[in-house]
Amino acid sequence: MDLGLAGLTVVVTGGASNIGRGIALAFAGESANVWIADRDEAQARRVAELSPERVRCIGCDVTDPASVEGMTRAVLEGAGRIDVLVNCAGWVMDRLFLEKPRDEWEREVDVTLWGFVNCTRAVLPSMIERAHGSIVSIGSDAGRIGEYREAVYSGAKAAVIAMSKAIAREVGRHGIRLNVVCPGLVPPQPEATGRESMWSGELAGVLASGEALAKAVRAYPLRRSGTAQDVADAVLFLASDRASYITGQTLSVDGGYVMV
Ligand SMILES: NC(=O)c1ccc[n+]([C@@H]2O[C@H](COP(=O)([O-])OP(=O)(O)OC[C@H]3O[C@@H](n4cnc5c(N)ncnc54)[C@H](O)[C@@H]3O)[C@@H](O)[C@H]2O)c1
């Protein structure tokens, strides 16, 4: 199926690492022009080098409205338009609610919830002007069912799902669609993981043993963990005009872990 993505301008936040990296490269593979907006510029450059004609990168902190507005201005000046925004930047630290220090909650909310608000707010006016645009946000099954050891992150991802529906109701009349893709477990590949990745810290230890990963995978009906490509395939479809009658929806890409 030709998704018709060639020549579109796509911004992928968090596109330097793991899932976002896979999404950025998948859009590039469809001949879209991709801008990776990530805090980790060094890792973003490494990704851009894999597809130099199609992928550019720009430093951006999604928690900072001024940084996001600057990034949006730069892309609009450079490309003239933003057709697709993928809100992928996220962060979580796996820990029991009662044991979690406040700064970890705040980072989860800042990156996940405020990152979505800042980026979505920044790109919408130019999409409305052109009466066309698609915003696909990376949620999480945590935001659908509430995940053990991920309480505040679950709440922030649930907010991304609810905000996407609410905004989809407001901007549908302008030809703009918002949808959410919820990955299941997508373990990082070392060469695809940035220094700022949530997987570069303590979280990596959770899956360090093959045994822990095998145990986690038993909860998935399809009995495997996900890949960045699994998630990217759904994101590309929802971003494309092939999904032009789909908005306000939440799709889990998780081997059947969550069925709602
Ligand atoms: N990997 C999984 O198992 C999984 C499962 C469900 C949902 N998710 C979600 O998918 C998304 C990607 O996950 P991942 O595994 O690729 O994570 P990752 O940590 O490997 O990558 C996240 C990227 O976001 C960037 N980033 C972090 N904070 C930022 C900020 N303030 N401004 C700009 N960039 C920032 C990081 O530099 C990194 O490149 C996240 O939203 C995550 O919550 C992941």
Task: Please say whether the beta carbons of 230 and 160 come within 8 A.
Answer: no
Ligand 1 atom nearest the C-alpha of 195 is: 37
Nearest CA to ligand 1 atom 13: 19
Predicted confidence (pLDDT) per residue in 169-213, tens digit: 999 999 999 999 999 999 988 888 888 899 887 777 777 678 888
Q: Residue 240 has what pLDDT?
A: 98
Token pair 């199926």: residue: 1
41's CB contacts (< 8 A; 6+ apart) are: 16, 57, 59
The identity of residue 85, as a single letter, is L
Q: What is the 8-class DSSP label of residue 7?
A: T
Predicted confidence (pLDDT) per residue in 16-30, tens digit: 999 999 999 999 999
Structure tokens at 209: 């043993």
Q: Residue 123 has what pLDDT?
A: 98
Ligand 1 atom nearest the C-alpha of 192 is: 20
Interatomic CA distance for residues 50 and 120, integer angstroms: 27
Q: Which residues line ligand 1 (CB under 6 A)?
A: 13-14, 16-20, 38-40, 60-63, 88-92, 111, 138, 140, 183, 185-186, 188, 193-194, 196-199
pLDDT band at residue 128 using 50, 70 and 90 as cut-offs: very high
Interatomic CA distance for residues 154 and 48, integer angstroms: 31
Q: Phi first, then psi: what are they for 167, rounded to 5°? A: -70, -35
CA angle (18, 22, 24) in 5-degree steps: 115
Question: Which whole number is the average pLDDT over 235-258?
Answer: 98
- pTM (2 decimals)? 0.98
Q: Which domains does the chain have, with CATH numbers?
A: 9-251 (3.40.50.720)
**Spacing of C-alpha 220 from chain mean position:** 21
Query: Which CB contacts under 8 angstroms, 24+ apart, belong to 97-102?
Result: 97/149, 97/151, 97/152, 100/151, 100/152
Higher pLDDT, 2 or 205: 2
How many Cβ atoms sit within 10 Å of the Cβ of residue 208? Answer: 10
Ligand 1 atom nearest the C-alpha of 153 is: 43
pLDDT band at residue 87 using 50, 70 and 90 as cut-offs: very high
DSSP 9-72: EEEEETTTSHHHHHHHHHHHHTT-EEEEEES-HHHHHHHHTTSTTTEEEEE--TT-HHHHHHHH
Task: Please say whether the beta carbons of 23 and 47 come within 8 A.
Answer: no
Orientation angle between helical segments 41-48 and 18-29, nearest 10 degrees:
30
* Edge-to-edge strand ranges of the sheet holding 133-138: 55-59, 33-38, 9-13, 84-87, 133-138, 176-183, 250-253
How many Cβ atoms sit within 10 Å of the Cβ of residue 57? Answer: 24
Predicted confidence (pLDDT) per residue in 239-248, tens digit: 999 999 999 9
